[in-house]
């Protein structure tokens, strides 16, 4: 049997389907393999959070009210605290860290708990603080490690705490306590997790850790630990890793581990990796698709011939259809993204000599001719002439394609099917690589973008990006005679037979081999009565034209709102027979509508205003730093104040603006068509704290709540602490010793917040 990865020129849909058929299957399976563990962990965390959420709801606590959750951590109920402690860590409620630290200080380890130490409340608090990346619990974690180290049932938490201290504080303290367990390894009744060891590879105990990993890679009871150890040793290029991988790829009892071990070897010794793949064909009964896949991805002629010889000799009868599919999958020959064009061209030239040695291609004069195309392509590319460089590769492809079909000359020039299968797709991939900086990312404009029905044929100019020498234009799926002018301009001949009747939705597209098309454009064949009369433009506040996002127009209730024609230069054309229309301009997610616009021989210009949003303090001075948003379908970024002001060009309509300052947000609505300056002002909020007898209390802690409790400061001798805040209703808290009192107040009405502590 022979293999032809391309059909005859022209069957483009068939070509692209064949491109992706097996590749898609392989990618899907590989994605499942690589992501399984990560997805499982995510599912476990989601299940934990859902379970804790249900328990918290049973306590009549709102799981989304973090302030209530934090306050409830001081509950007298051990069960309540336990659920909330775990919830704070699982949900990553960083605002809870202070409360958890306080709870930790008041919760020592029990001397002789009726269960393992990792199940105690103090251990739960530490675990949540680790989840919350707390940086103040180093000594507490060390104490916990010492206490838990004598009981193997604590190994999961013991390893987690040791890893955190190493990663967070660069302290290998925990290694001496977990080392005996990792030397022992997992068993049916006891389990360690190798992933906890990664931070220790960059520590003073790295040599000990490496030795442990070497043992675990080949002998641990858990398959996940074995392959994780191999991953870690591969990442550091351990001197023993090649030997370890070789043993694991043959002897590991888990078939997935054997496969993944070989994949690790690919990173450090590619030739040995290929040898192991060949050996695996003798022993492996599963994942054989990936073995052939890995061999052919080498893009080495000798390996390619090895696979073909296996097929022709029928050495593995059950693999016959599998090999056939793989050999038809030319995507396996796609170059690696990081390989340069020069290297790819040199490799292609080297391949010619090897194929000649296989008697797949001949003769030497023909080899020299093909090499001349490669040489010229390389020179053009190095001179930044990508069009000519790709053109030489196109000549290369055309020549071997012609010789494959030429059965009359078997002496001077010939290319057999195997050589064609290897060379032709690689030549096309190199063409794609040459044009990788200018692929057909988008089509920009058509000129003309419409004609009257019954007109003569015409030449249409298509502007876009990344055209190459094989780009072809399509008219509703039918090929147009296309001339490539440059990588940004095509000329396409439209015959008169295409424009006989009115049609306002003709799809213009461009196709290039092995390139992804990002968008199409629409061409209109209009009736003879229509006129292209209304041009719509957009300028900024300085009168400079800027590109609009979109323009729509309204003729009647029956027709509704319609899209205007995008001219590709930031302007739009309204095609209508009506004397007047309504127009809607879209820009920066907002839109502005005007009515009764003359639609015949007219240009209508929308203009933005330079909206400015100011932030002033209670003294009227501009201050930083405030974050500004505006609402247009959703809250959009406006900017951050600089010298107290943020600017943005917007359509002149009514918006809601939002200022965020010191974690407090305040909204304000304003029509910037009448006043383009939006001003937010803070008030000097004063919190006055008094004792039960009414006397001022100095040194009291004052806070306000906005997503979390934020510091105002300690009260002075007059019992007062002050801060500039946006005027709205805010919760305040005063505390002294173990006594605290909260109060909610709208400081826009009264900026003096008085709190009396009992």
Tell me how crowded residue 423 is: count the other CB atoms within 10 A of its CB: 25
Q: In the sheet where 729-736 sits, what is the strand order?
A: 709-714, 701-705, 729-736, 739-746
What's the average model confidence in pLDDT over 410-430? Answer: 83
Given this model, what pLDDT does residue 563 score? 86
Q: How is residue 395 written in tokens?
A: 């000549």
Q: Residue 15 pLDDT more than 50?
A: no
Superfamily of domain 683-756: Carboxypeptidase-like, regulatory domain (2.60.40.1120)
What's the average model confidence in pLDDT over 571-587? Answer: 90
Phi-psi region of 412 (alpha: psi -120 to 50; beta: other; left: phi over 0): alpha
| 441 vs 739 pLDDT, higher one | 739
Q: How confident is the model at residue 465 (pLDDT cuts 50, 70, 90)?
A: confident
Give residue limits of the domains in the chain: 334-434, 440-524, 531-607, 609-681, 683-756
Q: How confident is the model at residue 155 (pLDDT cuts 50, 70, 90)?
A: very high
**Helices and strands (H and E) in the chain: how many:** 20, 33
| 565 vs 435 pLDDT, higher one | 565
Given this model, what pLDDT does residue 437 score? 45
What is the Cα–Cα distance from 194 to 198, expressed in whole angstroms?
A: 8
Asked if 468 and 393 count as a contact pair (C-beta separation under 8 A), the reply is: no
Given this model, what pLDDT does residue 18 score? 39
Domain 609-681 has CATH 2.60.40.1120: yes
Q: How confident is the model at residue 524 (pLDDT cuts 50, 70, 90)?
A: confident
Q: Residue 409 pLDDT more than 90?
A: no
What is the Cα–Cα distance from 214 to 240, expressed in whole angstroms?
A: 8
Which DSSP string corresponds to 485-502? -SSSEEEEEE-GGGGSS-
Q: Residue 4 pLDDT more than 70?
A: no
- What is the percent of the chain where pLDDT is above 70? 90
Say which residues have a Cβ less than 8 Å from residue 641's Cβ, sequence separation at least 6.
Answer: 613, 614, 615, 622, 623, 624, 625, 626, 627, 628
Given this model, what pLDDT does residue 258 score? 93
Q: Residue 591 pLDDT more than 70?
A: yes
Say which residues have a Cβ less than 8 Å from residue 239's Cβ, sequence separation at least 6.
Answer: none
Q: Residue 233 pLDDT more than 50?
A: yes
What is the Cα–Cα distance from 19 to 13, expressed in whole angstroms?
A: 10
What's the average model confidence in pLDDT over 235-247? Answer: 94
Given this model, what pLDDT does residue 41 score? 56
Helix axes 206-219, 223-235, angle to 10 degrees: 140
Q: How confident is the model at residue 210 (pLDDT cuts 50, 70, 90)?
A: very high
3-state secondary structure of 16: helix
Tell me how crowded residue 44 is: count the other CB atoms within 10 A of its CB: 10
Given this model, what pLDDT does residue 555 score? 87
What is the Cα–Cα distance from 239 to 252, expressed in whole angstroms?
A: 20
Q: Residue 630 pLDDT more than 90?
A: yes
Asked if 210 and 179 count as a contact pair (C-beta separation under 8 A), the reply is: no
Say which residues have a Cβ less than 8 Å from residue 504's Cβ, sequence separation at least 6.
Answer: 522, 524, 525, 526
pTM over 0.75: no
| 148 vs 405 pLDDT, higher one | 148
| 351 vs 326 pLDDT, higher one | 351
Say which residues have a Cβ less than 8 Å from residue 104's Cβ, sequence separation at least 6.
Answer: 122, 125, 126, 129, 137, 140
The alpha carbon torsion through 395, 401, 404, 407 (nearest 10 deg) reads -80
What is the Cα–Cα distance from 280 to 262, expressed in whole angstroms?
A: 10
Residues 227-240, buried b or exposed e (16+ Cβ, 10 A)? Answer: bbbbbbbbeeebee
What is the Cα–Cα distance from 241 to 235, expressed in whole angstroms?
A: 10
What is the Cα–Cα distance from 665 to 726, expressed in whole angstroms?
A: 7
Burial zone of 259 (CB within 10 Å; 0-12 exposed, 13-18 middle, 19+ buried): buried
What is the Cα–Cα distance from 140 to 121, expressed in whole angstroms?
A: 14
The domain made up of 531-607 has a fold known as: Immunoglobulin-like (2.60.40)
Give the Cα-Cα-Cα angle 150, 155, 160 (nearest 5 degrees): 125
Q: How confident is the model at residue 7 (pLDDT cuts 50, 70, 90)?
A: very low
Tell me how far the alpha carbon of residue 163 is from its chain's centroid. Answer: 28
Given this model, what pLDDT does residue 141 score? 96
Q: Which CATH architecture has domain 440-524?
A: Sandwich (2.60)
Tell me how far the alpha carbon of residue 463 is from its chain's centroid. Answer: 30
Strand partners, 531: 576
| Alpha-carbon distance values, 157 to 108, 176, 409, 727 (Å) | 17, 15, 75, 47
What is the Cα–Cα distance from 155 to 194, expressed in whole angstroms?
A: 12
Averaged pLDDT of the chain: 87
| Alpha-carbon distance values, 231 to 3, 238, 255 (Å) | 37, 10, 16
Q: How is residue 663 written in tokens?
A: 């974690």
Strand partners, 590: 587
Q: How is residue 12 written in tokens?
A: 């483009």
How do residues 289-327 score in pLDDT, each as one tens digit?
A: 899 999 998 889 999 999 999 999 999 999 998 888 888
3-state secondary structure of 506: strand
What is the Cα–Cα distance from 339 to 344, expressed in whole angstroms?
A: 7
What is the Cα–Cα distance from 554 to 557, expressed in whole angstroms?
A: 8
Tell me how crowded residue 254 is: count the other CB atoms within 10 A of its CB: 15
Burial zone of 559 (CB within 10 Å; 0-12 exposed, 13-18 middle, 19+ buried): exposed
Given this model, what pLDDT does residue 507 score? 92
Say which residues have a Cβ less than 8 Å from residue 46's Cβ, sequence separation at least 6.
Answer: none
Given this model, what pLDDT does residue 235 score? 94
Backbone angles phi, psi at 173, to 5 degrees: -45, -45
Among 125, 131, 45, 50, smallest CA distance to 93 is for 131
Given this model, what pLDDT does residue 467 score? 73
Backbone angles phi, psi at 519, to 5 degrees: -160, 165
What is the Cα–Cα distance from 705 to 727, expressed in whole angstroms?
A: 14
| 227 vs 113 pLDDT, higher one | 227
Given this model, what pLDDT does residue 81 score? 93
Q: How confident is the model at residue 561 (pLDDT cuts 50, 70, 90)?
A: confident
What is the Cα–Cα distance from 718 to 734, expressed in whole angstroms?
A: 14
Q: How confident is the model at residue 22 (pLDDT cuts 50, 70, 90)?
A: very low
Given this model, what pLDDT does residue 411 score? 61
How long is the chain? 758
Tokens 């859902």 identify what position? 50
Tell me how crowded residue 502 is: count the other CB atoms within 10 A of its CB: 14
Which DSSP string corresponds to 57-118? HHTT--TT-HHHHHHHTT-S-HHHHHHHHHHHHHTT-GGGHHHHHHHHHT-PPPSS-SS-GG
What is the Cα–Cα distance from 538 to 532, expressed in whole angstroms?
A: 18
How do residues 37-78 score in pLDDT, each as one tens digit?
A: 444 556 777 888 888 999 889 889 999 999 999 999 999 999
| 127 vs 449 pLDDT, higher one | 127
Q: Hey, do 609-681 and 683-756 end up sharing a CATH topology, with the first three levels equal?
A: yes
Find the range with the poorest average confidence among 18-32, 323-337, 552-566, 728-742. Answer: 18-32
Strand partners, 141: none
Q: How is residue 390 written in tokens?
A: 């790709």
Residues 364-377, buried b or exposed e (16+ Cβ, 10 A)? Answer: eebbeebbebbebb
Strand partners, 249: none
What is the Cα–Cα distance from 235 to 264, expressed in whole angstroms?
A: 9
Q: How confident is the model at residue 408 (pLDDT cuts 50, 70, 90)?
A: low
Which DSSP string corresponds to 245-295? HHHHHHH-S-HHHHHHHHHHHHHH-HHHHHHHHHHHHHH--S-HHHHHHHH
What's the average model confidence in pLDDT over 544-571? Answer: 86
Say which residues have a Cβ less than 8 Å from residue 174's Cβ, sequence separation at least 6.
Answer: 142, 145, 158, 159, 161, 162, 163, 165, 166
Given this model, what pLDDT does residue 505 score? 87
What is the Cα–Cα distance from 496 to 459, expressed in whole angstroms?
A: 11
Given this model, what pLDDT does residue 37 score? 44
3-state secondary structure of 139: helix
Asked if 431 and 345 count as a contact pair (C-beta separation under 8 A), the reply is: no
């Amino acid at each position: 049997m022979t293999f032809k990865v391309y059909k005859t020129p022209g069957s483009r849909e068939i070509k692209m389907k064949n491109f992706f058929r097996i590749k898609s299957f392989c990618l899907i399976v590989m994605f499942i393999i690589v992501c399984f563990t990560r997805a499982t962990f995510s599912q476990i965390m989601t299940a934990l959070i859902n379970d804790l959420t249900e328990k918290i709801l049973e306590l009549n606590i709102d799981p989304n009210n973090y302030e209530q959750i934090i306050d409830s951590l001081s509950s007298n109920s051990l069960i309540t605290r336990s659920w909330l402690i775990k919830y704070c860590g699982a949900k990553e409620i960083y605002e809870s860290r202070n409360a958890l630290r306080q709870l930790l200080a008041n919760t020592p380890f029990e001397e002789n708990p009726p269960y393992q130490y990792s199940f105690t409340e103090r251990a739960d608090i530490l675990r949540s603080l680790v989840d919350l990346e707390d940086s103040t619990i180093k000594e507490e974690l060390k104490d916990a490690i010492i206490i838990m180290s004598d009981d193997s049932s604590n190994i999961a938490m013991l390893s987690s705490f040791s890893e955190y201290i190493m990663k967070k504080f660069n302290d290998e303290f925990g290694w001496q306590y977990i080392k005996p367990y990792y030397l022992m390894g997992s068993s049916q009744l006891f389990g360690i997790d190798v992933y906890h060891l990664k931070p220790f590879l960059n520590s003073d105990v790295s040599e000990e850790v490496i030795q442990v990993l070497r043992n675990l890679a080949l002998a641990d009871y858990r398959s996940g630990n074995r392959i994780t150890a191999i991953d870690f040793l591969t990442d550091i290029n351990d001197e023993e890793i090649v030997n370890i991988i070789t043993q694991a790829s043959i002897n590991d009892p888990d078939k997935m581990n054997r496969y993944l071990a070989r994949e690790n070897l690919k990173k450090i010794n590619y030739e040995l990796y290929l040898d192991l793949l060949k050996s695996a064909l003798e022993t492996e009964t599963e994942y054989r698709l990936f073995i052939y896949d890995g061999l052919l991805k080498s893009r080495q002629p000798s390996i390619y011939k090895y696979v073909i010889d296996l097929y022709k000799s029928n050495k593995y009868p059950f693999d016959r259809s599998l090999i056939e599919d793989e050999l038809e999958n030319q995507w396996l020959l796609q170059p690696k993204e990081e390989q340069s064009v020069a290297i790819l061209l040199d490799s292609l030239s080297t391949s010619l000599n090897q194929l000649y040695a296989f008697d797949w291609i001949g003769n030497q004069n023909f080899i020299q001719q093909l090499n001349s195309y490669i040489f010229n392509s390389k020179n053009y590319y190095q001179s930044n002439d990508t069009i000519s460089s790709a053109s030489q590769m196109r000549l290369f492809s055309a020549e071997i394609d012609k010789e494959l079909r030429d059965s009359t000359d078997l002496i001077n020039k010939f290319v057999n099917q195997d050589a064609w299968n290897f060379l032709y797709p690689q030549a096309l991939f190199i063409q794609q690589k040459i044009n990788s900086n200018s692929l057909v990312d988008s089509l920009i404009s058509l000129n003309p973008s419409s004609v009257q029905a019954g007109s003569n044929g015409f030449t249409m100019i298509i502007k876009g990006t990344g055209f190459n020498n094989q780009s072809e234009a399509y008219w509703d799926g039918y090929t147009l005679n296309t001339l490539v002018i440059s990588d940004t301009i095509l000329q396409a001949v439209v015959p008169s037979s295409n424009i006989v009747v009115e049609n306002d939705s003709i799809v213009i597209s461009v196709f290039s081999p092995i390139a992804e098309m990002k968008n199409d454009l629409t061409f209109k064949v209009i009736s003879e009565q229509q006129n292209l009369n209304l041009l719509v433009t957009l300028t900024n506040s300085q009168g400079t034209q800027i590109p609009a996002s979109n323009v729509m127009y309204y003729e009647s209730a029956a027709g509704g709102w319609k899209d205007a024609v995008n001219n590709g230069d930031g302007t739009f054309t309204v095609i209508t027979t009506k004397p007047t229309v309504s127009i809607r301009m879209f820009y920066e997610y907002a839109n502005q509508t005007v009515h009764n616009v003359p639609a015949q021989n007219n240009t209508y210009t929308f203009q933005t205003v330079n909206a400015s949003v100011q932030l002033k303090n209670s003294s009227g001075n501009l201050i930083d730093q405030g974050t500004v948003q505006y609402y247009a379908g959703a809250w959009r970024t406006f900017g951050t104040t600089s010298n107290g002001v943020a600017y943005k060009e917007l359509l002149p309509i009514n918006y809601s603006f939002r200022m965020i300052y010191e974690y407090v947000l305040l909204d304000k609505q304003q029509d910037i068509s009448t006043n383009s300056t939006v001003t937010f002002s803070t008030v000097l909020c004063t919190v006055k704290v008094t004792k039960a007898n009414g006397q001022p209390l100095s040194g009291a802690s004052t806070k306000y709540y906005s997503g979390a409790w934020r510091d105002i400061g300690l009260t002075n001798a007059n019992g007062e602490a002050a801060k500039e805040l946006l005027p709205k209703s805010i919760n305040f808290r005063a505390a002294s010793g173990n006594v605290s009192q909260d109060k909610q107040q709208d400081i826009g009405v009264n900026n003096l917040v008085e709190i009396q502590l009992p």
